[in-house]
């Protein structure tokens, strides 16, 4: 049982290049999330997908696109990378409560470290 | 959004209890309090969560005040491996169940 798997673990890009970060979970979770973490700071939500077929913007969506390919997979794409997007990216998933007031526990992947030169 | 306030850093002696405080004075009645930790640059790890009552699991205990405006995470017997950044998070009750992470508390367990 792998949990949440992210690829690649490390990537170096030049300004203007594009790339896609992949995330897959094997826990049959409904919701998936992409966060970024800059040095010395907490995590900031980029995009999330509450259920298969839906995606929504989080706190810092500019410069990113996402695709919820199926229930297991949620990818994050940088169309034209900028140095400000140098960060560690974390994917997470959760079962999500049936009612909006229920508890929501996230399981995180190990992270993808991206450097944009 | 409900926000949390935590001390920037704390030290704890190995084998002693670590008590990490968190203020969440704007929490609403149906918002949960969650605690996660992050060791080095690994992905955050879930520790515990609660709504009104105190909670305990194999990792920690969570004490929530009666007015729900603050809580304390207790690691009963801290070890060196508990050195990490600890995040106190209040879930935002909206579509998508967004969790907002602050800067957290750096806990240093010392021998």
Buried b (16+ CB within 10 A) or exposed e, B29-63: eebbbbbbbbeeeebbebbbbbbeeebeeeebbbb
Mean pLDDT of chain A: 91
Q: In whole angstroms, what is the distance from residue A29 CA to residue A52 CA?
A: 10
DSSP state of A59: S
Higher pLDDT, A102 or B70: B70
Per-residue pLDDT of chain B (111 residues; tens, 9 = 90+): 558 899 999 999 999 999 999 998 888 777 889 999 999 889 999 999 999 889 999 999 999 999 999 999 999 999 999 999 999 998 755 545 567 787 899 999 999
At residue B95, the pLDDT reads 43
Residue A4 binned pLDDT confidence (cut-offs 50, 70, 90): very high
pLDDT surpasses 80 at A101: no
Say whether B100 and A113 touch across the interface (CB within 8 A): no
Q: In whole angstroms, what is the distance from residue A50 CA to residue A37 CA?
A: 21
Give the minimum alpha-carbon distance from B20 to chain A in angstroms, rounded to a whole number.
17
Give the minimum alpha-carbon distance from A58 to chain B in angstroms, rounded to a whole number.
8
And the tokens for A90? 């974390």
Q: Which residue, A32, A10, A49, is CA-closest to A108?
A: A32
B chain contacts of residue A56, beta-carbon cutoff 8 Å: 95-96
pLDDT surpasses 90 at A20: yes
Of A50, A101, A107, the CB nearest to B30: A101
And the tokens for B105? 């508390």
The pLDDT tens digits for A30-85 are 989 999 999 878 888 899 998 888 899 988 999 999 999 899 999 999 999 999 99
Question: Torsion over CA of A49, A55, A56 and A59, rounded to 10 degrees?
Answer: 60
Distance between alpha carbon A54 and the CA centroid of its chain, in Å? 14
Q: In whole angstroms, what is the distance from residue B65 CA to residue B42 CA?
A: 31
Residue A100 binned pLDDT confidence (cut-offs 50, 70, 90): low
Query: Which residue matches tokens 């600890």?
Result: B86
Buried b (16+ CB within 10 A) or exposed e, B99-109: bbbbebbbbeb
At residue A1, the pLDDT reads 64
């Amino acid at each position: 049982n792998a949990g949440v798997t992210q690829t690649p673990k490390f990537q170096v890009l030049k300004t203007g290049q594009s790339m896609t970060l992949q995330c897959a979970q094997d826990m049959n979770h409904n919701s998936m999330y992409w966060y970024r973490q800059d040095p010395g700071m907490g995590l900031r939500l980029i995009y999330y997908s509450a259920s298969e077929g839906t995606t929504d913007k989080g706190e810092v969506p500019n410069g990113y696109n996402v695709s919820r390919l199926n229930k297991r997979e949620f990818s994050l794409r940088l169309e034209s990378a900028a140095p400000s997007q140098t960060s560690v990216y974390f994917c997470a998933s959760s079962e999500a409560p049936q009612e909006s007031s229920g508890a929501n526990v996230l399981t995180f992947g190990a992270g993808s470290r991206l450097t944009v030169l | 959004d409900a926000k949390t306030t935590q001390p920037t850093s704390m030290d704890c002696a190995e084998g002693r209890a670590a008590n990490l405080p968190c203020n969440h004075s704007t929490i609403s009645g149906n918002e949960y309090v969650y605690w996660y930790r992050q060791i080095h640059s690994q992905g955050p790890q879930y520790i515990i969560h609660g709504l009104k009552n105190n909670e305990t699991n194999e990792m920690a205990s969570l004490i929530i005040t009666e007015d729900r405006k603050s809580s304390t995470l207790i690691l009963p017997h801290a070890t060196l491996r508990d050195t990490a950044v600890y995040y106190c998070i209040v879930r935002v009750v909206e579509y998508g169940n967004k969790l907002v992470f602050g800067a957290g508390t750096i806990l240093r367990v010392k021998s």
